[in-house]
A and B are shown apart, each in its own frame.
Chain A
Amino acid sequence: MALVEIKNLKKYYDTPGGTLHAVDDVTLSIEKGKTLGVVGESGCGKSTLGKTLIKMTEATSGEVYFDGQEITSMNQRQFKQMRMRMQMVFQDPYASLDPRMSVSALIAEPINTYHLAKSRNELNEMVLSLMDTVGLARRLANVYPHELDGGRRQRIGIARALSLSPEFIVCDEPVSALDVSIQAQILNLLMDLQEEKGLTYIFITHDMSVVKHISDEICVMYLGQVVEKCESKELFKNTLHPYSKALLSAIPVPSIHNKKERILIKGEITSPIDPEPCCRFAQRCQYATEACFQSEPALKPYKGTGHLVKCHRVEEIN
């Protein structure tokens, strides 16, 4: 059974210019022990999706089921016990840690909040074993975040997320602020932890090669909507949506052979404020016709497979 199920999730923000559709009608489900990758450019609503589905911001409408229980309608008191089971790793390890708390205090904070340790000794034991788990040397227990580099700080962030033994972790761009050699260390750590503890991840990133590496399933987002969703390998073998195609072709490949054809999409991401009821990618799409500007396509399976795509002309262009 799916651990997390999202049905018609919407998150709108009121702005002086109109209603901003950050997440618009997203339906997803994530199996236990799997990783769902969410990719898209900045401003496509991927972080908002992550925050809304663990109730860090309230959804405008829609339902989120976690282990069979609906959480968007819960109040804070009911939700507190659920919160333990779903945690988040944040993007910027420089900004997400309190600079005045030492490493051990940072890791102990969630444990204290939930009164999980019965004595000070037990707490110390828990903190140190968490540090071992994420690969932080025990001698760093009393240093402050500013003394550490980005990779180690991100390890603290992961240790904090793990401290309550959650089942589900939202990773919001956990490696994008890190150098490549450190990025690989953190990705390996996340994958090892998943194997060991049977964690379920939703992995939000803008980096296609990272998402391919870590995910079982991928959904591509554009302006608050899921435009394509399928298994990780399938997406790279058989890309269907014009936006996913352009996104894939735009990635600079670190190889001087097999240069691929670049699809340069025109212009920039359009405004998410009060979007027209048409295909949101139509303005930048090279295949767009009249029909694309008149009605919004539905996210439907391509040729009866599990490969979902939101495009009017998907059959014609592939």
Chain B
Amino acid sequence: MSEKNLLSVRDLVVHYETDEAVTEAVNDVSFDIKPGEILGMVGETGAGKTTIGMSIMGLLPKPPAHVISGSIVFEGEELLPTSPEPKKLFDFAIRRKRRHEEKGLERMLRTIRGKKITMMFQDPMTALNPVMYVGDQISEVLKIHENLSDADAVKRACEILEMVGIPANRYKEYPHQFSGGMKQRVVIAIALACKPDLIIADEPTTALDVTIQAQVLAMMKDLQQKLGTAMILITHDFGVVADICDRCVVVYAGEIVESGNLTHIFDNPMHPYTRGLFGSLPNLEVDTERLTPIEGLMPNPMNLLPYCSFFTRCKEKCDDCMKGNPKLVEVEPGHLVRCFVTTAGKEK
């Protein structure tokens, strides 16, 4: 615990505001990442995983997104504006101050994004520019962030291509000439080009076949260890988490409901949602006659309940659950759970 945090996110709240309603995408999320660590972020579609990743990158579409509160500190630098958001239309002084601060932050983010923090997007088919050589898409990053000359950038890009297992002579080819697995390798190459400190990988293997997924995961783990990069791996697959992550957070309806290391999550899941997820996975090792799915659906984030967001689907609920939203409770060192019932009496 003595090591300094590379990234720490505190009390992050992100809303999407539209004319009809406010979508509470991320509610009060806090987590830390240490250098060289792989954090798995697991949750269902619409749980807010990608929004968390995007807010770290400063890539949220504004509007409709609004960072309501919270702080994101990366290597000691705050990435979110600290001045208050203007409440009224005519708060000109506040508005001006805020805009000035946002401009400064954007300038700083441009030097960080792509160099110190990089992001790998879910779909390699759409993440690459279809009318640019794949090699040029890698050397572009190097030219912008490392001020390399054209010739040097091309040389480095070729090295990086070889590193991810693509022959350098395919530099001058277009993305459509590559298969899905190869495209994902190019995306990884772009993300690794500047040897970043942190990679946010948003479902990097979801669009790939299992055999290709195994190849890509093995390579990512290998390169991550070689370069000492920290990584946030956003996924919905507990299998992938068990494979390469050090720690894991489970996200549900924009909240972290459980976090801990792999032993905590896999051997002693405490939150009913985490338990439910394990119950709905068909297991290769054990013969189960019938799966035990989580009943019902995720709550509408436009209309969240004032109490525990898992209440309606929970099997272990009691009347106390309606009294308010539970806090994250540390049940054993490093293992945090957000539930009234399962943490009762176990608080340390």
* Docked complex Cα distance between A179 and B49 (Å): 14
Which of B44, B45, B209 is within 8 Å of A206, CB to CB?
B209
* Docked complex Cα distance between A165 and B180 (Å): 40
The chain B residue sitting closest to A209, CB to CB, is B282
Q: How far is the CB of B315 from chain A (nearest CB, A)?
A: 12
* Docked complex Cα distance between A248 and B210 (Å): 9
Residues of A close to B126: CB separation below 8 A: none
Cβ of B285 within 8 Å of any chain A Cβ, yes or no, is yes
Q: How far is the CB of B331 from chain A (nearest CB, A)?
A: 18
On whether the beta carbons of B282 and A253 are closer than 8 Å, the reply is: no
Interface SS of A by simple majority? helix
On whether the beta carbons of B284 and A209 are closer than 8 Å, the reply is: yes
Which of A206, A233, A236, A253 is within 8 Å of B242, CB to CB?
A253
Residues of A close to B243: CB separation below 8 A: 252
Residues of A close to B295: CB separation below 8 A: 185
On whether the beta carbons of B239 and A181 are closer than 8 Å, the reply is: no
On whether the beta carbons of B280 and A42 are closer than 8 Å, the reply is: no
* Docked complex Cα distance between A254 and B283 (Å): 8
Q: How far is the CB of A86 from chain B (nearest CB, A)?
A: 26
The chain B residue sitting closest to A187, CB to CB, is B291
* Docked complex Cα distance between A108 and B279 (Å): 35
On whether the beta carbons of A188 and B209 are closer than 8 Å, the reply is: no
On whether the beta carbons of A255 and B266 are closer than 8 Å, the reply is: yes
Residues of A close to B44: CB separation below 8 A: 179-181
Cβ of B288 within 8 Å of any chain A Cβ, yes or no, is yes
On whether the beta carbons of B214 and A208 are closer than 8 Å, the reply is: no
Which of B179, B240, B280 is within 8 Å of A268, CB to CB?
B179
On whether the beta carbons of B237 and A252 are closer than 8 Å, the reply is: yes
Q: How far is the CB of B205 from chain A (nearest CB, A)?
A: 9
Q: Mark B283-310, 1 if CB is under 8 A from A, else 0.
A: 1110110111111010000000000000
Task: Tell me the residues in window 232-280 of chain A with beta carbons closer than 8 Å to chain B beta carbons.
Answer: 233, 236, 246-256, 258, 262, 264-265, 268-269
Known contacts A42-B209, A180-B280, A185 near B293 by CB under 8 Å: yes
Known contacts A41-B211, A188-B291, A256 near B242 by CB under 8 Å: yes
On whether the beta carbons of B210 and A258 are closer than 8 Å, the reply is: no
Q: How far is the CB of B68 from chain A (nearest CB, A)?
A: 26
On whether the beta carbons of B266 and A256 are closer than 8 Å, the reply is: yes
On whether the beta carbons of A179 and B45 are closer than 8 Å, the reply is: yes
Cβ of A146 within 8 Å of any chain B Cβ, yes or no, is no
Q: Can you pick out 20 interface pairs between chain A and chain B where the beta carbons lie within 8 Å of each other?
A: A180-B44, A180-B280, A183-B280, A183-B293, A208-B284, A213-B282, A246-B211, A250-B210, A251-B210, A251-B284, A252-B240, A252-B242, A252-B243, A253-B239, A254-B281, A256-B263, A256-B267, A264-B218, A268-B181, A268-B212
Top 10 closest A-B pairs, CB basis?
A: A252-B239, A184-B293, A184-B280, A254-B238, A213-B282, A250-B214, A184-B291, A181-B294, A41-B209, A209-B282
Which residues of B are in contact with A by a Cβ distance under 8 Å?
Answer: 44-45, 179, 181-182, 209-215, 217-218, 236-243, 262-263, 266-267, 276-285, 287-288, 290-295, 297
Which residues of A are in contact with B by a Cβ distance under 8 Å?
Answer: 41-42, 149-151, 179-185, 187-188, 191, 206, 208-210, 212-213, 233, 236, 246-256, 258, 262, 264-265, 268-269
